[in-house]
């Protein structure tokens, strides 16, 4: 089975899973489990506005919406502001988890529950209120997670971790990550950003085109301020 991750927050629904096999972050495995696309990620903010037109900026308090092809940014009022480039057919959602920036980007949308659908690929992002070194210690002390390689995205250095093979469903909620579980081989990317850390979890696509899109969006990440 392809490595997958499932996240559960609290509020409006967004489905999240995990990637393996994008060019720079290759991990072994098979197809993602059904559970990875059935669990919900939600925000503590109430959904107040439905945005039906394509947008080039994510905002809090809005359900998942279609993104305008080209350069897109997260809400300018929430740290960290993240800018990235998406092709047509991508969707996004942004909220808060324990007051920290959390957003999801994906190649699909589930209109019935107004969620970003990551079945065909996407990215999950979460900010921390502490340093990379502090978060890295949590990860390195956690059972079943190991450091794999250094990474560099958007001009910032970080670390890639993966769940060890032979350890099933590593729990992440107790190390400050939105509650969920990571399957063997599933990667997590930590970046050190302005004296704080951020987490990026890629979710794989089932086609070469999808995998290439996810990788391009990931590597287009920039952090203006």
Name the least confident of 23-32, 87-96, 141-150, 180-189.
23-32
Q: Where is mean pLDDT largest: 38-42, 84-88, 93-97, 100-104?
A: 84-88
pLDDT category, 166, cuts 50, 70, 90?
A: low
Residue with tokens 């942004």: 94
Give the pLDDT score at 176: 67
Q: Which residue has the higher pLDDT, 164 or 1?
A: 164
Q: How much is the mean pLDDT over the chain?
A: 75
- In this predicted model, what pLDDT tens digit does every residue of 167-200 receive, in sequence order? 556 666 666 676 666 666 777 899 999 899 999 9
Q: Is the dihedral of CA 121, 17, 225, 99 positive or negative?
A: positive
Distance, in Å, from the CA atom of 140 to the CA atom of 161, rounded to the nearest integer, reads: 9
Give the pLDDT score at 73: 96
Give the pLDDT score at 201: 87
Distance, in Å, from the CA atom of 103 to the CA atom of 199, rounded to the nearest integer, reads: 11
Give the pLDDT score at 146: 84
pLDDT category, 27, cuts 50, 70, 90?
A: very low
Q: Which residue has the higher pLDDT, 171 or 7?
A: 171
Distance, in Å, from the CA atom of 161 to the CA atom of 30, rounded to the nearest integer, reads: 18
Q: pTM of this prediction?
A: 0.76
Report the pLDDT averaged over residues 14-37: 34
Q: Where are the domains of the chain?
A: 5-219
Give the pLDDT score at 117: 87
């Amino acid at each position: 089975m392809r490595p997958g991750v499932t996240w559960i927050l609290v509020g409006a629904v967004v489905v999240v899973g995990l990637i393996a096999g994008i060019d720079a972050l290759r991990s072994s495995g098979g197809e993602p489990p059904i559970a990875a696309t059935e669990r919900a990620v939600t925000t503590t903010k109430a959904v107040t506005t439905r945005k039906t037109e394509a947008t080039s900026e994510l905002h809090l308090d809005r359900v998942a919406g279609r993104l305008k092809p080209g350069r897109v940014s997260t809400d300018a009022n929430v740290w960290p502001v993240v800018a990235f480039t998406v092709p047509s057919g991508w969707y996004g959602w942004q909220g808060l988890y324990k007051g920290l920036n959390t957003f999801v980007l994906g190649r699909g949308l589930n209109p019935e529950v107004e969620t970003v659908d990551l079945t065909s690929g996407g990215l999950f992002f979460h900010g921390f209120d502490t340093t990379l070194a502090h978060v890295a210690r949590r990860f390195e002390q956690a059972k079943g997670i190991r450091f794999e390689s250094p990474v560099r995205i958007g001009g910032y250095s970080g670390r890639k971790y993966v769940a060890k093979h032979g350890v099933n469903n590593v729990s992440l909620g107790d190390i400050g990550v939105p509650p969920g579980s990571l399957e063997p081989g599933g990667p997590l990317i930590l970046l050190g950003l302005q004296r704080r850390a951020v987490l990026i979890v890629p979710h794989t696509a089932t086609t070469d085109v999808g995998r290439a899109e996810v990788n391009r969006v990931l590597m287009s990440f920039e952090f203006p301020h």
